[in-house]
Structure 1
Amino acid sequence: MRGQLWDRMTFGPWRRRRWMLRQLRRLDELDAREARAAADRRRPRRSVAQPFRTAVVVCATTAIVVVGLGVLLHREYGLTLTADGLRGPTPLSRPPEVTPGVGSHAFAMTQPGDESRPVTYSPCREVAVVVNDALAPPGSAGLVEEALAEVSAATGLRLVLEGTTDEPAAERRELRIPERYGDRWAPALVAWTTPEQVPGLRGDVAGLGGSSAFELGVLGRLRYVSGTVHLDAPAMATILARPDGRDLARAVVMHELGHLVGLDHVDDPRELMYADNVGVTGFGPGDREGLAALGSGDCL
């Protein structure tokens, strides 16, 4: 009892409680210090080279984005990044000035959702043409070259005759024929043939012409990439035998090349693109307006 009384008189419980609180605070401080040390051990250490590596990653990412954007702009719009800035492609030549609204013309195909914009060949690329003249009738020498020159002048497109080929005429043709023409779009084919080879020439049909469109670019625009012109050799031989036969035969080839670059038939007999040959031997005003529009496409 004397010990308990003395302990109370000397504030023993208070002193012990105060000592215990000090020990608990020290333990809390030790726990906090250990937690900070563990967090420091888990945190990655920043080395002197880390800012340099970050800068390299940023520069490399920026370069990849710029190059990718440049490739996209070049493939979509033909734009090229030069020291002077962005430079767009330019057409190889321009179509001649025409008087609009004088005649009639029609387009074989228009862009989806926009009937005012025809599907065209690119005016910034040559349109390659090859000829299979194995069945060409007597007196037909030079007809294709003369007709190509007329269409080139009326459109501004550069239709280039690459030479002859032994590719046979067929109603269906692939857009790429690598074993013949390499890794590119197959050149347009002008083939002297017969109705037996191309049944579409049966009857009063002296020729057939047209092109195949391909969807290019992320915008989904259509572009002619290749085509065919089939000329009925026996029928053209009969035409060439007439006194004015060469002019009429050249008109037939020009008519089919008009289909090749994108013109359709019209109901006006004054135009060369009238469905029947009624003696017109040159492009009419409506034909020329349509051909000028076909040579004014954008340079995809």
Structure 2
Amino acid sequence: MTRRAWGLVLALSIVVFAVAVTAGRVAGPPDPEFAFTETQAGEPGAPVTWEPCVPIVYQVHTSRLLGGEGEALAFVDEAVEHVSALTGLRFRREPVGQPFDVAISWAAADEVDELAGKVAGVTRAAIKRYASREWFVSGQIVLDVEVFDRIGLGEEGRAILLHELGHLVGLDHVDSRAELMYRTTTGRLDYGRGDREGLVRLGKGTQSCS
């Protein structure tokens, strides 16, 4: 099956819930090739992101996915490491059952309404205000198990997960088909130039962590 044959639509793949104070939604910075899902109140160019220097603890639920758990964990870990390298944000995977900030799982459309139609993944994130800033404090990525049972954990699946991880750390959809954060699939398998610039800005300040 070609990349275009499965024609997955990634529209509606992010829903942001505010825990305390919800930031106003804006189009993002002037560069049209990337945009932020949320920005700091009164600072349109300053994105809401995860707290610098604090590891984002994630766990992976693989029970609904065909195939071995080890392959699925390696698949997720590689994508997370890629995002970490581009942003400078720190991630740490913990076993299911341990405290966590982010859950990554697979489910069917009849279990998660947002997966209805041709949506391949949905991301939710929660925001909390403290230390005079707003931060992402928790999140969830749910991938369509029927899609992944069909396409597997190869390059196409990786592109879907990277798109959702982009949402998790604060990237919104853009209108440029040259970017992975375009709202529908184009056959692109990795982040584009604008995506990468946005990811760097979302991780700004983390490089000083010891």
Same fold (TM over 0.5): yes
Once the two structures are TM-superposed, the CA of residue 102 in structure 1 deviates from its matched residue by 8.2
Q: Does 1:296 align with 2:208?
A: no
Task: Say which structure, 1 or 2, has more relative contact order (CA 8 Å, 6+ apart).
Answer: 2
Distance 1:108 1:102 in 2: 14
Bigger Cα Rg = 1
Distance in structure 2 (CA, Å) of the matches to 1:103 and 1:150: 23
Answer yes or no: is 1:135 the counterpart of 2:135: no
Could you tell me whether the CA contact under 8 Å between 2:32 and 2:175 is conserved in 1? no
Tell me, yes or no, if structure 1 residue 223 matches structure 2 residue 135: yes
Report the equivalent of 1:148: 80
Match of 2:150 among 231, 238, 246: 238
Match in the other structure for 2:160: 252
- Output the amino acid matched with 1:226: S
Cα pair 1:194 1:201 within 8 Å, conserved: yes
Which residue number in structure 1 is paired with residue 27 of structure 2? none
1:237 is aligned with what amino acid? D
**Contact 1:210–1:256 (Cα < 8 Å) also in 2:** no
Q: Distance in 1 between matches of 2:32 and 2:95?
A: 35
Please give the TM-score of this superposition, normalised by the length of structure 2: 0.77
**How many angstroms does 1:164 deviate by?**
3.1
Q: What pairs with 1:56-75 in structure 2 (closer than 5 Å)?
A: none
Pick one of 160, 184, 196 that aligns with 2:92. 160
Equivalent position amino acid for 1:280 in 2 = R
| TM-score of the two chains, using structure 1 as the length reference | 0.55
Which structure shows the higher helix fraction?
1
CA distance in 2, matches of 1:239, 1:103: 31
Separation in 2, partners of 1:210, 1:264: 12
The one-letter amino acid of 1:231's match is L
1:131-210 correspondence runs (5 A): 131-138=60-67, 141=72, 142-165=74-97, 181=99, 186-210=100-124
Number of aligned residue pairs: 175
> Deviations along 1:54-88, whole A, 9 cap, x unmatched?
xxxxxxxxxxxxxxxxxxxxxxxxxxxxxxxxxxx
| C-alpha distance in 2 between matches for 1:273 and 1:128 | 23
Number of the residue aligned with 1:108: 37
Q: Report the identity percentage.
A: 39
Distance in 2 separating the partners of 1:290 and 1:256: 14
| 1:211 CA drift (Å) | 1.6
| Counterpart residue type for residue 193 of structure 2 | P
Residue 103 of structure 1: CA displacement? Answer: 6.9
Does the CA contact (< 8 Å) of 2:32 and 2:174 recur in 1?
no
Alignment-mate amino acid for residue 158 of structure 1: R
Structure 1 residue ranges (4+ consecutive) displaced by more than 3 angstroms after TM superposition: none
Counterparts of 1:137 and 1:104, CA distance in 2: 35
Name the residue aligned to 1:89: none
| 8 A contact 1:207–1:252 mirrored in 2 | yes
Retained in 2: the 8 A contact 1:103–1:284? no
Tell me how large the CA RMSD over aligned residues is: 2.0
Task: Give CA-to-partner distance per residue, 1:160-194, whole Å, 9 cap, x none.
Answer: 111235xxxxxxxxxxxxxx63xxxx420101111
User: 1:94 corresponds to which residue?
Assistant: none
